[in-house]
Structure 1
Amino acid sequence: MLEAIGAGSAPRVGSRDWADIWEDSAELANVKDTISQMRSSRQAAAKE
Structure 2
Amino acid sequence: MVIFHEQTFVMSAFMATFMVFIQFSFIFIFYPKFVHFCRADMI
Query: Where do 5+ consecutive residues of structure 2 fail to align?
Result: 1-6
Q: TM-score of the superposition, structure 2-length normalised? A: 0.50
Q: Which amino acid aligns with 1:32?
A: I
Q: TM-score of the superposition, structure 1-length normalised? A: 0.47
Q: Select 1:22's aligned residue among 11, 19, 22.
A: 19
- Aligned pair count reads 33
Max Rg structure: 2
Identical counterparts, % of pairs: 3
Deviation of 1:14 after TM superposition, in Å, equals 4.1
Q: Which amino acid aligns with 1:46?
A: D
Higher relative contact order (CA 8 A, sep 6+): 1
Q: Select 1:43's aligned residue among 35, 38, 43.
A: 38
Deviations 1:11-43 (A, max 9, x none): xx741163x1311x2x43221112211110000
Query: Where do 5+ consecutive residues of structure 1 fail to align?
Result: 1-12
Q: RMSD of the TM alignment (CA)?
A: 2.2
